[in-house]
Amino acid sequence: MEDKEQEFTGAQMVMEAFIREGVDTIFGYPGGANLPLYDVLEEGGVGIQPVPPGIVPKLYPIKHYLVKHEQAAAHAADAYSRVTGKAGVCYGTSGPGATNLVTGIANAFMDSIPLVCVTGQVISPLIGRDGFQEADIVGITIPITKHNELVMDVNRIPAAMQEAFYIATTGRPGPVLVDIPRDVLQQRGKFYWADKVQLRGYRPNGTHPDAGEMAKAVELIEKAERPVIIAGHGVIIGNAYEELLRFAEKTNIPVITTLLGISGFPGTHPLYLGMPGMHGMYWNNRAINEADLLIGIGMRFDDRVTGRLKDFAPKAKVIHMEIDPAEMGKNVRPAAALLGDVKVTLRELNKILPPAKEHREWRQWIDDMRANHPSITIRETDEVLPQYVIDTIYRATKGDCYVVTGVGQHQMWAAQHFWYDKPNSFITSGGLGTMGFEVPAAMGAQAAAPNDTVWSICGDGGFQMTLQELATIAEYDWPIKFAIINNNNLGMVRQWQELFYKNNIVSTPLKNPDFVKLAEAFGVMGLRAEKKEEVEAVVLKAMAHKGPVLIDFQVKYGENVYPMVPPGASLDETIDMPKWAPEKVSA
């Protein structure tokens, strides 16, 4: 057959699809079922001989990072996507390789991150027969992917890959999994790449919001006396940073950002108020409940934002800008529903906005609230407060870095005590709340932005869920700065035990390893700060070091995150930071 040479193996088709989709980086882990995908990589550590007969060997110059556990591959691809705006790509083999991806996929699903996960599957005759390392990964991931597919025909691979990228990156983004049996990866077929993807059942929301709803929104803004903006992750995903800034400045409306919306608006801007909700600023929670207009932009009124839903924003009408029709009216019924891409919506809205009002009384009310409630004031003490550590990193870096966090107290402090002026510089697991995200996500961020500084703010609990990746970090010499906020406790859970379970402290104290020695065992510089005066010095030392550094900050035991809305309470019941008795302070 003359055209034999124009045929591709299934694995090569996957590569051809990557090339067309602009993929240059993969995070993954090889195994029996996905070996053909490694056999066509120029790098990747597997042999490429012998050359299959009848075909010109074709190797693809795509960078593959070998992680130590597939969960890390998914988290790294997730963070890579958050930094670049492209789809993140990860590999896993069949069975345990694929199931190890599950947490990472669920994390990306909850935070609307475009991932394309390619898993090897056992050979097609073995499927459904309990083959070695078989797992029904398509069945398993149905509820946590935007879409997924088991590809049983080699000629289907190009379309399946093209659709995967299309679905993952358009509309409200999300993870897509493509599962391909090993024998299908090895078969040959014709590579057909369509000009456009056509799916009858998937038409990402039109980009232009309804004109009638736009007019309603303008009227609401015009009439509002006490308006606030609550901006969410959609601003970052939708690349609407400039548009939001213009919108806020043109209307003179103060801006609150949700946890995932942080760094979607300049942190030091005079209109910026910080985060709302469970650990949000006291003044924000009060302002939301006093407001007569809430403008939700690319956010979904999550329960951590609203507190008890029934008592949320009782005086406010709502303008909701959102790309996902299923989010409209899910938790809060909007008076103006602006369905569409928030970037386009804001751009169009900015053209027809009424002249800005001063909102002097309203802003004064918020300022007074701010002046009279400490919320995040760091108190004077000789002890190493975790908040002080975060603040020191902020002052030392001047905010010019990516901040990646895990989940828990340290995450909340990183959200509260850092003022993010660099767009899209805060990378955190918001929806799923995945402890251990901080280590592999820092890898993904650093791989995406090799010339930027990446600080990974870690909990001592979460860090130990994914610490094996220190080996990966050492191998690729990613100069990530890990700051373990080490209170030798599962701090947030301990806080709940203290406040809501009658201080019954069970299974939250941790017997931690020596993190400095641990880092050194992996070939990573290890530093420790036990006294307040050491904190700044180790931060500066870490910044001066060219390679990866891990710092063990031994912080005060028993520190709680405030303000706090108790679970099930309304925003009006926010507990502000208690008034502390004076503590020992050296002159």
Partner 1 sequence: MGAGKGECVMATDGAGPIKPHTIIALVEDRPGVLNRIVSKWRQRSFNIESLAVGHSEVEGLSRMTFVVDANANAEQVVRQVDKLVDVVDIRDVSHEDIVAREMAIIKVKATKETRSQIIDVAEVFKADVLDVAPDSMILEATGEETKIDSLVELLRDFEIIELVRTGKVAMLRGPETSHQVPEDEQFERAPGVHTW
- Near partner 1 by CB under 8 A: residue from 110, 116, 122, 138: 138
582 lies in the site for partner 1, by CB under 8 A: no
- DSSP codes joined into one string, 467-478: GGGHHHHHHHT-
Contacting partner 1 (CB under 8 A), which of 46, 48, 142, 540?
142
The neighbouring-strand residues paired with 554 are 486
Which parts of 270-299 interact with partner 1 (CB under 8 A)?
Answer: 292, 294
Q: How far apart are CA 415 and CA 279, in angstroms?
A: 9
Say which residues have a Cβ less than 8 Å from residue 305's Cβ, sequence separation at least 6: 230, 258, 276, 277, 278, 280, 299
- E strand or H helix that includes residue 482: strand 481-486
Please count the residues of this chain forming the interface with partner 1, following the rule CB under 8 A. 52
User: Residue 240 carries which side chain, given as an amino acid letter?
Assistant: A
Q: In the structure encoding, which two tokens stand for residue 431, read together?
A: 């929806």
Mark 523-562 with x for binding to partner 1 (rule: CB under 8 A) and - for no binding: ----------------------------------------
By CB under 8 A, which span of 202-210, 273-281, 519-527, 578-586 interacts with partner 1? Answer: 202-210
Q: Toward partner 1, which CB reaches closer, 143 or 355?
A: 143
CB of 523 vs partner 1, minimal distance in Å:
32
Cβ 280 vs Cβ 577: under 8 Å:
no
Phi, psi of 440 (to 5 degrees): -65, -30
Nearest distance from C-beta of residue 84 to partner 1, angstroms: 6
Interface region with partner 1, contact rule CB under 8 A, candidates 101-109, 163-171, 358-366, 573-581: 163-171
Q: Which of residues 216-245 bind partner 1 (CB under 8 A)?
A: 236, 239
Dihedral pair phi/psi, residue 337, rounded to 5°: -105, 105
Strand partners, 550: 482, 526
Alpha helices in 224-281 (DSSP H): 233-237, 241-251
Q: Which of 12, 71, 84, 119 binds partner 1 (CB under 8 A)?
A: 84
Q: How far is the CB of 163 from partner 1 (least distance, A)?
A: 8
DSSP-assigned letters across all residues of 22-89: T--EEEE---GGGHHHHTTBSSSSS---SPPTTS----B--EEEE-SSHHHHHHHHHHHHHHHSSPEE
Q: Does 567 bind partner 1 (CB under 8 A)?
A: no
The span from the CA of 79 to the CA of 82, in Å, is 5
* Contacting range for partner 1; rule: CB under 8 A; set: 38-46, 137-145, 435-443, 499-507: 137-145
**Among the candidate windows 92-100, 193-201, 478-486, 522-530, which touches partner 1 by CB under 8 A?**
193-201
**CA-based nearest residue to 522, from 549, 487, 542:** 549
- Give yes or no for a contact between 328 and 322, defined as CB atoms under 8 angstroms apart: yes
- C-beta of 518: minimal distance to partner 1 in Å? 34
* 309: contact with partner 1 by CB under 8 A: yes
- The smaller minimum CB distance to partner 1, of residues 250 and 308, is found at 308
Q: Closest separation between CB of residue 295 and partner 1, Å?
A: 12
Stretch near partner 1 under the rule CB under 8 A, chosen from 69-77, 316-324, 355-363, 526-534: 316-324
Does 20 bind partner 1 (CB under 8 A)? Our answer is yes
Q: In what order do the strands lie in the sheet with 426-427?
A: 426-427, 402-405, 454-459, 481-486, 549-554, 525-529
CB of 51 to partner 1, least distance (A): 29
Per CB under 8 A, residues contacting partner 1 are 20-23, 83-86, 138-139, 142-143, 146-147, 165-167, 169-170, 196, 198-204, 206-207, 236, 239, 292, 294, 309-310, 312-318, 324-326, 329-333, 423-424
